[in-house]
Structure 1
């Protein structure tokens, strides 16, 4: 932004127009977008939290597949079976 044109935004007519646009439509669009984003973020968090990891690790000693998501979700955060 040019510093010389920045003073145009502080003109009372421009400020009145911006306030009118915000009060007429701007805030509704802003708050609707905010609500949609918050719902999306909550749903994405729930999906990531409750979806098991799509990978497993092969345990060489036990000759079986180890589910890492089950091991890490119990709170110990240590994979002793690998």
Structure 2
């Protein structure tokens, strides 16, 4: 599981960085446990993500998750 590389400091940083997005505790936990790497995965984890998050915010969430994971550097998908 991607969450194996996490430590208390990374988790605190993650929670602080996620404050502006108004996610539920369950959504934050899912992001921490599963460490999504693509926008489609975020849509599966965050209820009504299309309405709640702009495309820029979605990219920011993925970058924050990538920073927590540590061994993965998020790269925006080419369309």
- TM-score computed with the length of structure 2 as normaliser: 0.24
Rg bigger for which structure? 1
Of Structure 1 and Structure 2, the greater strand share is in 1
Higher relative contact order (CA 8 A, sep 6+): 2
